[in-house]
Amino acid sequence: MASKSLLIVAVAVLFVAAPALAADLVVGDDKGWDLEVDYDEWVDGNQFIVGDRLVFKYTKGNHSVVEATAAGFAACSDANSLATWSSGDDQVPLSGSGQRWFFSGVGKDCVQGMRFNVTVLPVVKLSPSASPPPPPPSSAPSGGGVAPALAAAAVAAAALLF
């Protein structure tokens, strides 16, 4: 029992301390940016975190990518669009948290379903400020810190796994 909870703690430490890995999310997966895909379903199956990128893949000229406001999105209107991409391999960084709206600005693509919105989640950070450790004596050449703690956690996890 004790060893199991220790393992959980060790693994949790590793996950929390690991830097967030930004992901490239190919919109529509293998099918890309296309009329055949249900993008609401695609959105439901993914998580969007600050630092990730959306990648829209399509035949240049057949579709486009318009970023719009909620109102523009609802109306399939690019009159007040925020940005437009049309290379066929468009990379859209998700650099802030919050909701963003996209659709294809070509022909009837948008009303035929080539649109979706995503909610971009903030990166979860360690918050050492929650319980700040006392500052070390100024001269301490101590080997303490995050790296040794991580190494200890990794060893503990490894010992319990193998």
Ligand X SMILES: *[C@@H]1O[C@H](CO)[C@@H](O)[C@H](O)[C@H]1NC(C)=O
Q: Are 116 and 42 in contact (CB under 8 A)?
A: yes
Among 14, 26, 62, 88, binds ligand X (CB under 6 A): 62
Q: Which residues contact 29 (CB under 8 A, 6 or more apart)?
A: 42
Q: Is 71 in the site for ligand X (CB under 6 A)?
A: no
Measured distance CA(91)–CA(120) in Å, rounded: 15
Among 33, 48, 56, 73, binds ligand X (CB under 6 A): 73
- Between 6 and 117, whose beta carbon lies closer to ligand X? 117
From 21-29, 70-78, 81-89, 128-136, give the range in contact with ligand X by CB under 6 A.
70-78
Q: Which residues pair with 83 in a beta bridge?
A: 67
Neighbours of 161 (CB within 10 A): 9
In the complex, least distance from residue 105 CB atom to ligand X, rounded to whole angstroms: 15
Q: Is 69 in the site for ligand X (CB under 6 A)?
A: no
From 8-16, 66-74, 104-112, 151-159, give the range in contact with ligand X by CB under 6 A.
66-74
Among 59, 80, 91, 95, binds ligand X (CB under 6 A): 59
Among 29, 38, 40, 89, binds ligand X (CB under 6 A): 40
Measured distance CA(43)–CA(52) in Å, rounded: 14
Packing angle between helix 2-17 and helix 146-161, nearest 10 degrees? 140
Could you identify the residue written with the tokens 């004596």?
A: 137
Binding site for ligand X (CB under 6 A): 40, 59, 62, 70, 73-74, 117
